[in-house]
Structure 1
């Protein structure tokens, strides 16, 4: 069983602290066996203040990190010294040094400052909450900060933006470890989208309006059942009983993207699922997902994910196996 250790620092943010236990704790094999064990520790094993009006008690001290396969550092609002360029406290530095070389390090939101201060992000790509990205770049010039993405997977070191991006990153790890079916099941239980690409912009840059009422939901559901068909904008508008111009305006108001962009995203998601969960040839996946030809699917994968469909399949089928 994969062992996840969550390090709660003084002033920890409760929401992000709970993400790893919630996501990894809901991941089960097909036979019903838990795939992860999750334990929380503080540096000294004592209760930890949160940034809310309560403290939390933990059952472990930082010696837990030495046996972990993945170490998660949630954000803390009591690490102001790091934002002033001060070095890590000795106890925290020693705790990070105890992590095994083969273990994964995961920082949620401003937890990235801890990894950066320890030199663990030097010459690596990383992200953090958009409000703190410029400061992270100024304080730690060796870190390749990308302020626009939801999360960054650099193999054994991963970082995320704020709040729900931590959910995205943990779901990404479940998907990487065990495939899309397990991750999708966890997402369904948590009532959250099973996949938001790490390269998606943080919402502060391109906000998506909230949906109002049912709107065009029925038309989107209708389209999802027909992604393999050559759907046109006129087809979608006709199903909604609207003119093309009105439909396009209302669709963008509800989803934040054009109908064409939305269709492309849904078709890519379907192609991902088929590559991960079936043995269909790439050309057959392309037809079912509405890309028409394998060449068109390969072009879309290269543009969106910078990998070929076959490479993507090998990555996630191996994880699922």
Structure 2
């Protein structure tokens, strides 16, 4: 049986009625020049399909999903009807054959119809979460997160969250440095945690004069310092209360949780790209001590720093 660490072939399922954004976005991530040496990507469908306003000529047949290591199921435009039976069967067969299967947005309806989400936590676009839960009561639908990783079965919310999930998979396969390179090439944020709120009024600062526009890079340049909420508020010329409100609006989380996430991501990069000791990395990321870094790293990433380094550093 294939393991996630061995995955290289990626199949993007294609059928009439899929949304072109998610389909094209998955192709852009896994077909990026930065990861081309590790992934072979193909669009799989039995005939030319319509994705939104665009016509797509698949590279291979739908039956080729079973040969892929990773299967991506893009969003369906119409979730009122049952997903195409041939697509459901192909996705089920791929997973039974050992593939990692990920849905983007309403592609979760396909995974649910295939029985892959039974007894599992899953998500989809928040406007369709109730419909998914009603039609498939055996699925634990969480409408408040960006994506859910169950190992070999993954689901995401829509649009930007689908990008987050694809980058998360690249990060899981090849580390933060590679995922960050893909993100930079696509000019998108390199990481948003899956548990971050799905619906926020302003996902990113909309204007150059947003109160947090200059704060974010200022913080990232000082991750080795013991920053506090008061430090960030002072730099942004805001009260601590107003800073918290702006952070919640712009990122869906609190200033301290956002700061901790950035420290962990910097630690990941240093573990992947340097031979520095955990003590040195703890100091460089503002964690103070190796014990503090290990505690937060293990809780956030799921493995200790040393194990993470052995996995990703060659």
TM-score range, shorter chain: 0.7 to 0.9
Q: Which runs of 5+ in 1 are unaligned?
A: 83-87
Cα distance in structure 1, aligned partners of 2:72 and 2:309: 22
**Is the contact made by 1:122 and 1:143 (CA closer than 8 Å) also made in structure 2?**
yes
Q: Label 1:27 to 1:122 Cα distance change in 2 as closer, same or farther (>3 A).
A: farther
Structure of greater Rg: 1
Cα distance in structure 1, aligned partners of 2:142 and 2:260: 25
Matches within 5 A, 1:123-142: 123-142=119-138
**Is the contact made by 2:176 and 2:265 (CA closer than 8 Å) also made in structure 1?**
no
Compare 271-280 and 136-145 and name the one that shifted more: 271-280
Compare 5-14 and 221-230 and name the one that shifted more: 221-230
Are residue 212 (structure 1) and residue 215 (structure 2) matched?
Answer: no
What is the TM-score normalised by the length of structure 1?
Answer: 0.82
Q: Label 1:283 to 1:308 Cα distance change in 2 as closer, same or farther (>3 A).
A: farther
Deviation at 1:260, TM superposition (A): 4.2
**Is the contact made by 1:23 and 1:171 (CA closer than 8 Å) also made in structure 2?**
yes
**Is the contact made by 2:20 and 2:54 (CA closer than 8 Å) also made in structure 1?**
no
Cα distance in structure 1, aligned partners of 2:271 and 2:165: 21
Q: Which runs of 5+ in 2 are unaligned?
A: 1-6
Cα distance in structure 2, aligned partners of 1:20 and 1:191: 15
Report the counterpart of residue 3 of structure 2 in structure 1.
none
Matches within 5 A, 1:170-181: 170-181=166-177
Q: Label 1:315 to 1:127 Cα distance change in 2 as closer, same or farther (>3 A).
A: farther
Deviation at 1:296, TM superposition (A): 2.8
CA offset digits 1:186-208 (Å, max 9, x no partner): 0100011111111112024x654
Cα distance in structure 2, aligned partners of 1:249 and 1:149: 24
**Is the contact made by 1:16 and 1:75 (CA closer than 8 Å) also made in structure 2?**
yes
Cα distance in structure 2, aligned partners of 1:286 and 1:25: 34
**Is the contact made by 2:212 and 2:246 (CA closer than 8 Å) also made in structure 1?**
no
- 1:92 is matched with which residue: 73, 87, 92? 87
Report the counterpart of residue 293 of structure 1 in structure 2.
289
CA offset digits 1:103-128 (Å, max 9, x no partner): 11111111111111111111122111
Matches within 5 A, 1:68-83: 68-82=68-82
Matches within 5 A, 1:5-16: 5-16=11-22
Matches within 5 A, 1:169-318: 169-204=165-200, 207-208=202-203, 210-214=205-209, 215=211, 217-232=213-228, 235-236=231-232, 242=237, 245=239, 249=242, 252-253=245-246, 255=250, 259-301=255-297, 305=300, 307=302, 309-310=304-305, 313-315=306-308, 317-318=310-311
**Is the contact made by 1:27 and 1:36 (CA closer than 8 Å) also made in structure 2?**
no
Question: Partner of 2:155: helix, strand, or coil?
Answer: strand
**Is the contact made by 1:209 and 1:253 (CA closer than 8 Å) also made in structure 2?**
no
Aligned residues: 303
Deviation at 1:26, TM superposition (A): 1.0
Report the counterpart of residue 163 of structure 2 in structure 1.
167
Q: Label 1:134 to 1:258 Cα distance change in 2 as closer, same or farther (>3 A).
A: closer
Deviation at 1:23, TM superposition (A): 0.3
Compare 209-218 and 18-27 and name the one that shifted more: 209-218
